[in-house]
């Protein structure tokens, strides 16, 4: 700055004044504030798209309690369950994880699905690609027992799928050593099937009964939630007979609940298709024990006095484990 004669100040245009520096600092602060606001707005928008108060994204998981010790001696039989897989991007990854589970020495006598086996409408032209090829080696010595989901029956091809797999119409029952599996059609949770279920559970049989159908009795999923018709018509039967385990799909994630009567309800819909978010807060359900937004399968191993359940992610990591006794 130069001070000429006469006392007037002349500003050097190449050198900023204090006022200029203040203006620049203020501008930078405003730009930073706008960037933070835009970032927060974008995050809020993404959360709103997923559903308020939800948990989403591969890797989100929670489980409670220590793993109980195994009860009842050697494994008598075993199976793996998975759902909502047909044609999904992660279908082969989950199938590979099942193969590694078998290679590690675990007992797997059957493959069990919780529905939505063939997307998008159960087209028979996709049976080979979605039911056979991913599980070809696993199915060489093991049956594939399925229930039907809403996508399986969407095009009216449900009976064709069951016939293709050599299975009877729903409902039907299958047995392994120490356990009976009862398959229902929750696309139409009617009283007729309820009567059949009550009769099957009232007949002599093994200590462990596992019930398999698609639409979940209970769910904290942001996509579908619990199924009122199932709760009204079938849950009282399941609770009265204190079945060991109920396996469902429909929600593309993993969830486990335990009722006051000791019935374990599991959602296993992470077999390959796009994952769904789970609500953090959820009412109208039994005690929630575990959840995971991951592609996965559920392994069940049966002993004389216990049934162990292990949820395994597509990379082989264990998401959840519980031992049920009767």
Q: What are 138's two structure tokens?
A: 């696993």
* pLDDT at residue 175, as a whole number: 98
pLDDT, residue 55, reads 53
Sequential pLDDT tens for the chain (326 residues): 333 333 333 334 444 445 554 445 444 444 444 443 333 333 333 333 333 334 544 566 777 665 666 677 899 999 999 999 999 999 999 999 999 999 999 999 999 999 999 999 999 999 999 999 999 999 999 999 999 999 999 999 999 999 999 999 999 999 999 999 999 999 999 999 999 999 999 999 999 999 999 999 999 999 999 999 999 999 999 999 999 999 999 999 999 999 999 999 999 999 999 999 999 999 999 999 999 999 999 999 999 999 999 999 999 999 999 999 98
CB distance 291 to 272 below 8 Å: no
For residue 72, the model assigns a pLDDT of 75
206's tokens: 């093994």
Cβ(172)–Cβ(197) below 8 Å = no
What digits encode the pLDDT tens for the residues 36-49? 333 333 333 333 33
Q: How far apart are the first and last CA of the chain?
A: 92
Q: In the Cβ-directed half-sphere of 222, how many Cα atoms lie within 13 Å?
A: 19
User: What is the rounded CA–CA span in Å between residue 166 and residue 148?
Assistant: 14
55-325 CATH = 3.60.21.10
The tokens of 3 are what?
């001070």
């Amino acid at each position: 700055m130069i001070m000429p004669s006469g006392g007037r100040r002349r500003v050097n245009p190449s050198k900023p004044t204090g006022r200029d520096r203040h203006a620049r600092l203020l501008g930078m602060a405003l730009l930073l504030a706008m960037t933070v606001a835009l970032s927060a707005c974008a995050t809020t928008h993404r959360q709103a798209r997923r559903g308020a108060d939800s948990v989403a994204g591969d890797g989100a998981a929670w489980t409670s309690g220590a793993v109980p010790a195994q009860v009842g001696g050697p494994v008598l039989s075993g199976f793996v369950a998975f759902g909502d897989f047909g044609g999904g991007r992660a279908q082969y990854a989950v199938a590979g994880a099942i193969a590694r589970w078998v290679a590690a020495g675990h007992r797997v006598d059957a493959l069990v699905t919780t529905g939505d086996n063939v997307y998008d409408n159960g087209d028979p032209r996709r049976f080979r690609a979605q039911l056979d090829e991913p599980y070809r080696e696993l199915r060489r010595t093991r049956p594939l027992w399925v229930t039907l989901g809403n996508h399986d029956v969407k095009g009216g091809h449900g009976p064709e799928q069951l016939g293709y797999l050599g299975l009877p119409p729903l409902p039907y029952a299958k047995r392994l050593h120490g356990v009976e599996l009862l398959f229902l059609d929750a696309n139409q949770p009617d009283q007729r099937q309820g009567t059949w279920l009550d009769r099957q559970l009232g007949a002599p049989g093994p200590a462990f009964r596992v019930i398999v159908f698609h639409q979940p009795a209970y769910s904290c999923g942001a996509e579908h939630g619990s199924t009122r018709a199932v709760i009204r018509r079938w849950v009282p039967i399941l609770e009265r007979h204190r079945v060991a385990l109920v396996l469902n799909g429909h929600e593309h994630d993993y969830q486990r609940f335990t009722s006051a009567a000791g019935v374990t309800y599991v959602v296993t819909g992470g077999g390959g298709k796009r994952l769904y978010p789970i609500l953090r807060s959820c009412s109208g359900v039994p005690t929630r024990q575990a959840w995971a937004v991951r592609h996965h399968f559920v392994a069940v191993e049966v002993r004389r006095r216990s049934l162990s359940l292990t949820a395994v992610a597509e990379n082989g990591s264990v998401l959840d484990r519980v031992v049920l006794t009767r």
